[in-house]
Amino acid sequence: MTQPFRFELLGERNGIRRGRYHTPHGSFETPCFAPVGTRAAMKGLTPDQLRATGAELILANAYHLFLRPGHELIARRGGLHRFMAWDGPILTDSGGYQIFSLAHLSKVDDDGVTFSSVIDGSTKRLTPELALEVQRALGPDIAMILDECPPGNADPAVVRRAHLRTLQWARRARDLHDSWGGASRGQAVFGIVQGGPDPELRAESADAMVALDFDGYAIGGLSVGETKAQMEIALEVAADRLPADRPRYLMGVGTPEDFQTAVRRGVDFFDCVTPTRHGRNNQAFTREGILKLRNLKHAEDDAPLDAACGCVTCRLYSRAYLRHLAIAGEMLGGVLLSIHNIHYFQDVMRELRAEAEG
């Protein structure tokens, strides 16, 4: 029987892995950037607009969809692909990042996490098994295990406890995934390497995750308060220990500078809310750096955001017009800047793929 998931390593140059990951909803080229539609929506963009940027893989958040509208409702509507009208590959995060970002609302123990809903304050419980059951109902191509993500400046004892707990949860998730038939059922499950900025703990976590033989591997717990130097050391140690025939995903890291560093250390794909969040805040990524469109200097500037960019925003609209939208508070401004920023991030990935091909 043909496996529904397959990672092709097409080449490697300057440390960059050029690949292609096949899923039941099509393939995506790597290195790859996945825009984030947390609640099954890319803020301000339709699927067609998103496709036009070159995006192939997108991400949604199982934690938020578990709270609203509920994974059972989405399953009754035909699953996440049908629900949000996206026919390409989808990855869902499990809620591990929310253990970090919403720590004031949650309490973690060895069996799972109890938290107060950000919607109505009701008490909810999430375990490694339920996190996978939620994602099975949502139906993404790639599901993530539940992990504990400590802050980058956490005490070493806290980081070690989170690593050991994540490993314990990973074993439980692996057993459940296997009992359902593994990836042959049409959904891959990725393990997540933790360990904070400690290179020895990162190595220990990576080795333990690889021993569990997941369908792919993520590197989590970075870009959460550690220094750039700490991130690079932890990243290099973890990536070097992951198998070459499985995709490597760096979670929640999302600036072009970070992409350049991580891709040259063997990372295959990324996700982040950065391009749409910056777009909604009237900021554009360009080859000149970040442009702040509310600045007066753009008021009579007829130039596009980036002359080398082929997105619809740069083809049709001037910096002067985009500044007008920003000052006027028109929602179109955030949409156009988000389209540009995602397209720019895809350009970075296209250029890295071209470099790997020679």
Catalytic residues: 93, 271
89 token code pair? 């590959």
- DSSP strand E in 145-262: where? 188-193, 216-219, 248-250
SS3 assignment, position 85: coil
Beta bridge partners of 114: 107, 125
Beta bridge partners of 20: 8, 29
- Residues 8, 28: contact at Cβ < 8 Å? no
Distance CA 184, CA 201 (A): 32
Q: Which residues contact 343 (CB under 8 A, 6 or more apart)?
A: 52, 53, 54, 309, 310, 311, 313
Amino acid at 353: R
Cis before 31? omega within 30: yes
334 token code pair? 């955030």
- Residues 280, 44: contact at Cβ < 8 Å? yes
179 token code pair? 């009992």
Q: How many helices (H) and strands (E) does the chain have?
A: 14, 16
Distance CA 168, CA 266 (A): 26
